[in-house]
């Protein structure tokens, strides 16, 4: 792209005739040049910038910012500085710095087993990918599998996990804990931070029962994935501190997003706090109070070896859940299921 303009000195046609003032011509437009003595002043008067080149991404060519190739200014075809003086009649040319495609790099990246999600498996091993990508954008040019991830073996022939969200809650959490203790079942409790801070004795009772703790954010924000990185980290870290303090020093090793509001960023930030994402495979929507029979039917119809069942001990009236869990423990055992807690990855 070229922007060319000249400072022109008009000559007198005869004695007594006023000399026109020098002008700057920019793309055919004449601009008064009074007070212009440097290239920079001429550029400013004409409204002409010196565009630097852009660094472009390797695949989509989207702008990533300025590159190392700055634009330049020429006076009568010779490169000059913008601080240089300019004389009437000289021609100033502005040249674009030119765009540059980013460099590429080749990296070996781990591929987590079980997609990096807690499961009822052990002995998992990550895989590896050879990836060619842009150094700045990380846009992938090519990838090749070097080693396939191994998800591990089930903890038993027919393992199943019970998980309880939105507690601790002073009415229903103790009932569920008593039921689990009588049945010798261990479960995972996904605790809301502010609830844990309010009912620390219940958190200690969960730990004393041999159950597993899971971070379920401070305030159960179901729009978590739409928040900024700082907001997401605050929800996670504030809950982690509250649960750890309430438990007497036992820190959660898992994280569950409220309402299943997962995103790559949410999972990545959980990992940054050394928390394994904990999802589920069976959801009877007990929070909606669909009836004890409905909860039981959905779980028994949907469960499979390695399944993780989502239930709730908090967030509302949970009498249907309590009744359903009592029956489910009996029926799942009759079907040869063994109750286990998820393993971090």
- Following DSSP, what letter does each residue of 220-249 receive, concatenated? --TTGGGS-HHHHHHHHHHHHHHHHHHHTS
Active site residues: 165, 312
- How are beta strands 91-95 and 72-75 bridged, if at all? antiparallel
pLDDT recorded at residue 249: 98
DSSP labels for 34-47? TT--BHHHHHHHHT
Q: Where are the domains of the chain?
A: 2-100, 104-147, 157-339
pLDDT recorded at residue 31: 59
- How are beta strands 23-26 and 2-8 bridged, if at all? antiparallel
pLDDT recorded at residue 70: 85
pLDDT per residue of the chain (345 residues) written in tens, 0 to 9: 444 444 444 334 444 444 456 665 544 456 565 777 787 887 887 778 788 899 999 999 999 998 878 888 888 888 989 888 877 777 778 888 889 999 999 999 999 899 899 999 999 999 999 999 999 999 999 999 999 999 999 999 999 999 999 999 999 999 999 999 999 999 999 999 999 999 999 999 999 999 999 999 999 999 999 999 999 999 999 999 999 999 999 999 999 999 999 999 999 999 999 999 999 999 999 999 999 999 999 999 999 999 999 999 999 999 999 999 999 999 999 999 999 999 998
Contacts of 173 (CB under 8 A, 6+ apart): 164, 167, 189, 199, 202, 205, 206, 313, 314
Contacts of 231 (CB under 8 A, 6+ apart): none
Could you read off the pLDDT of 225-252 as tens digits, one per residue?
A: 999 999 999 999 999 999 999 999 999 9
Which 3 state secondary structure label does DSSP give 54? strand
Report the distance separating Cα 304 and Cα 229, nearest Å: 36
Report the distance separating Cα 44 and Cα 86, nearest Å: 13
157-339 CATH pick, 2.60.40.1120, 3.20.20.370, 3.40.50.10490, 3.30.450.40? 3.20.20.370
Closest by CA to 329, choosing from 222, 182, 200, is 182
294 to 98, 169, 224, 314: CA distances (angstroms): 65, 23, 29, 19
Half-sphere exposure of 252 (CA within 13 A, CB side): 34
pLDDT recorded at residue 47: 78
Tell whether pTM > 0.75.
Answer: no
């Amino acid at each position: 792209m070229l922007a060319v303009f000249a400072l022109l000195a008009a000559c007198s046609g005869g004695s007594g005739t006023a000399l026109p003032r020098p002008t700057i011509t920019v793309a055919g437009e004449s601009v008064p040049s009074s007070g212009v003595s440097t290239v920079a002043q001429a550029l400013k008067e004409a409204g002409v910038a010196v565009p630097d080149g852009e660094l472009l991404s390797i695949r989509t060519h989207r702008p990533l910012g300025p590159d190392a190739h700055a634009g330049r200014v020429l006076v009568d075809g010779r490169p000059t500085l913008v601080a240089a003086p300019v004389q009437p009649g000289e021609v100033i040319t502005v040249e674009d710095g030119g765009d540059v495609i980013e460099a590429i790099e080749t990296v070996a990246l781990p591929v987590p087993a079980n997609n990096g999600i807690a499961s009822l498996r052990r002995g998992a091993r990550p895989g590896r990918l050879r990836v060619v990508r842009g150094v700045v954008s990380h846009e992938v040019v090519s990838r090749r599998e070097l080693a396939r991830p191994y998800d591990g073996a089930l903890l038993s022939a027919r393992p199943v996990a019970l998980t309880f969200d939105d507690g601790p809650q002073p009415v229903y959490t103790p009932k569920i804990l008593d039921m689990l203790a009588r049945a010798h079942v261990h479960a995972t409790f996904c605790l809301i931070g502010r609830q844990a801070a309010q009912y620390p004795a219940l958190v200690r009772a969960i730990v004393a029962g041999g159950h597993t703790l899971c971070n379920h954010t401070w305030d159960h924000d179901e729009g978590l994935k739409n928040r900024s990185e700082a907001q997401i980290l605050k929800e996670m870290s504030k809950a982690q501190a509250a649960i750890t303090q309430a438990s007497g020093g036992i820190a959660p090793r898992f994280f569950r997003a409220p309402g299943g509001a997962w995103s790559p960023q949410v999972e990545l930030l959980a990992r940054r706090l050394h928390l394994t994402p904990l999802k589920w495979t069976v959801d009877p929507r007990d929070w909606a109070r669909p009836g004890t029979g409905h909860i039981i039917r959905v779980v028994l119809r949907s469960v499979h070896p390695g399944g993780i069942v989502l239930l709730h001990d908090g967030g509302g009236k949970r009498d249907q859940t309590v009744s359903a869990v009592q029956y489910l423990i009996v029926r799942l055992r009759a079907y040869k299921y063994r109750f286990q807690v998820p393993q971090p990855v």
